[in-house]
Amino acid sequence: MESIIQGRVFKFGDNVNSDIIIPGRYLIYIDRERLSQHAFEVLGEGFPAKLRNFDILVAGRNFGCGSAREQAATAIQGLGIKAVVASSFSRTFYRNAINDGLPIVECPALYAAVAEGDEIRIDLAAGAIVFGGREYPFPKMPESVRQILELGGLANYLKAQLEAHPQS
């Protein structure tokens, strides 16, 4: 995982639920590509294709609320989205994003400042977003959690652990 993530922003409102991110009928898939073909499709024509032109999702409060489906994070990654910045996350999406290797940042101050198409720069190691000549700090993740993210998710983390300490 890169510490610096830079790109164009697509903006959502509050309470984007995981049924909108990926409807239940597609949970028969677990791979990024197939899931991403249906990501946000309930929002109507243009989705999800439109989102492939952006790099970072910015959302309001409670992003990813509702179902604990891990594929919400997987589908977003499949769209080529490199990070999600929200004013707050639902706790299930927060965990699933980390476990899926999708960088997420809680930064309520950024929300009102950016518009669709703006280019922002996230420095995960420094804990700050740079936009419009201003810095928007955000709390860094606990070290143990950051390790999971850095390895690209919990499956990779588990694999590394098992290689270091094989089950007898």
Partner 1 sequence: MTIAEKILSAKSGKASVTPGEIVEAYPDLVMSHTATWRSASVMKRVGATKLYDPERLAIVLDHVSPAKTEKYAADQQISRNFAREYGVRKFYDVDAGIAHLVLMEAGHVAPGDLIVGTDSHCTIYGSLGALGTGIGYTEVTSVWITGKLWMKVPESIRITLQGGFGAGVYSKDLMLHLIGKLGADGCTYNSVEFYGDTVAELSVSERMTIANLAMEMGVKCAFLPPDGKTAEYLKGRLPDWSRYHEVHADPDARYERRIEVDLAQLEPMVACPHEVQNTKPIGEVVGTHIDQAFLGSCANAKYEDLVVAAGILKGRRVDPGVRLIITPGSKQIMLEAMNSGVLQILLESGGMVTNPGCGACAGDGGMLADGEVCLSTANRNFLGRMGSNQSQIYLSSPATLAASAIRGAIADPREFLTH
**CB atoms inside a 10 Å sphere around CB 77:** 19
Residue span binding partner 1 (CB under 8 A) among the ranges 2-10, 76-84, 112-120, 140-148: 140-148
**Binding residue (CB under 8 A) for partner 1 from 8, 50, 91, 134:** 91
Name which of 115 and 167 has its Cβ closer to partner 1.
167
Name which of 125 and 158 has its Cβ closer to partner 1.
158
Residue span binding partner 1 (CB under 8 A) among the ranges 16-24, 50-58, 108-116, 117-125: 16-24
Is there a cis peptide before residue 139, judged by omega within 30 degrees of 0?
Answer: no
Residue span binding partner 1 (CB under 8 A) among the ranges 67-75, 76-84, 106-114, 124-132: 67-75
Residue type, 1: M
Residue 61 near partner 1 by CB under 8 A: yes
CA nearest 41: which of 57, 29, 25?
A: 25
In degrees rounded to 5, what are phi and psi of residue 63?
-65, 135
Integer Cα distance of 159 and 162 in angstroms: 5
Residue 19 near partner 1 by CB under 8 A: yes
- The DSSP secondary-structure symbol of 5 reads E
- Span between the terminal Cα atoms of the chain, in Å: 31
Integer Cα distance of 154 and 119 in angstroms: 29
Per CB under 8 A, residues contacting partner 1 are: 14-15, 17, 19-20, 23-25, 27-28, 30, 41-44, 61-62, 65-70, 73, 88, 90-92, 95-96, 99-100, 142, 144-145, 153-155, 158-159, 162-163, 167-168
